[in-house]
Amino acid sequence: MTRRIVAVTAGLSQPSSTRLLTDQLTAAVTAQVTARGEAASVEVIEVRELATDLAQLMTSGLATPRMDEARELVSSADGLVLVTPVFNGSYAGLFKLFVDALSPDSLTGMPVIVAATAGTARHSLVLDFAMRPLLTYLRAVVVPTGVFAATEDFGGAEAGSGLASRVRRAASELAALVVAETGAVAGFAEGSADRDRSDRAARSSGVGLAPVTPFEQLLAGHTG
C-alpha cells in the first residue's frame, strides 16, 4: 500500500530554510515508511503560491479550484508535515490563513509533524505554545517530537547533527502512526485500524458544501 504524505510549507522566499526543512522531513518520513514495508508518496503545498486564492476565500467565501484541490489534498492524506517560519514569536500569518481555510473536520485523527524555522533558537517554543495547541484544537494527532531549526542548524561542519536527529525521530513517530504499527509512539497506534477508519469517516475537506449564508441576508429586516 502507498501512504500519502502531504507537506504544507509556508516559507515566503525561494529558496527558503522552511522549504529546506520540509524536504528533509518528507525524505525522512519516506525512508521510515519504506523501512516498515510500505511505499510513500509525497505532495508539497507551497502556501505562498496560494496567497491570492486564500485572500479571495477568506474575504468572499468563494474558493478557487486551486484552493479546493489543496483542501482535498490535506483532508485525504495519511499523514501531514506542517512547516512554518516564525514571525514575531508565532507562526506566519500566511500559515494561519491556510489553516483557517481548512474545514474544522479535515484533520480529525490526522497524524501530524509540526516544524518551524527562525533566525534564532529563542523562538523554539513556538512549537509547543502555538502550533501544538492549534492542531490539538483541530483534533489532529501531533507526534511527540516537534522539529525546530534555527539558521545555525543549516550550516557549518558540526551544525545540523542535532537537527538531523530530531528529523529522524519525528519521521519515525509519524511513520509508525501512518503505517499503524501496533504499540508505536507510546501506544498511540494501538487499535489504530478501527480508529483510522472512524477518523477518516469523520474527516471532511469542506469542498462542495453549501455556502454560508451572509450575515446581511440573515439579518435582513431586523433593526436594533
Q: How far apart are CA 220 and CA 146, in angstroms?
A: 48
CA dist 224 to 159, 214, 217, 218, 221, Å? Answer: 63, 18, 15, 14, 10
Peptide bond into 85 cis (omega under 30): no
> In this predicted structure, what is the pLDDT of residue 220?
73
Hey, how many other C-beta atoms are within 10 angstroms of the C-beta on 60? 9
Hey, how many other C-beta atoms are within 10 angstroms of the C-beta on 187? 10
Q: How far apart are CA 114 and CA 93, in angstroms?
A: 16
Q: How far apart are CA 84 and CA 91, in angstroms?
A: 6
The reported pTM is 0.84
Closest by alpha carbon to 178, among 42, 84, 87, 79?
79
Sign of the torsion angle spanned by Cα atoms 92, 96, 101, 107? positive
Q: How far apart are CA 7 and CA 150, in angstroms?
A: 20
pLDDT in tens, the chain (224 residues): 899 999 999 999 988 999 999 999 999 999 999 999 999 999 999 999 999 999 999 999 899 999 999 999 999 999 999 999 999 999 999 999 999 999 999 999 999 999 999 999 999 999 999 999 999 999 999 999 999 999 999 875 455 569 999 999 999 999 999 998 544 444 454 555 555 656 666 666 667 655 556 667 767 777 75
Which grid coordinates belong to 155? 550550516
> In this predicted structure, what is the pLDDT of residue 83?
98
CA dist 3 to 14, 77, 170, 182, Å? Answer: 28, 8, 17, 17
CATH superfamily of 2-218: Flavodoxin domain (3.40.50.360)
In the chain the first and final C-alpha atoms are separated, in Å, by 59
Q: How far apart are CA 125 and CA 183, in angstroms?
A: 28
Pairing of strands 2-9, 79-87: parallel
Q: Where are the domains of the chain?
A: 2-218
Phi/psi region, residue 214 (left: phi>0; alpha: psi -120 to 50; beta: rest), is beta
Asked whether the beta carbons of 106 and 99 are under 8 A apart, the reply is: no
> In this predicted structure, what is the pLDDT of residue 214?
63
> In this predicted structure, what is the pLDDT of residue 222?
74
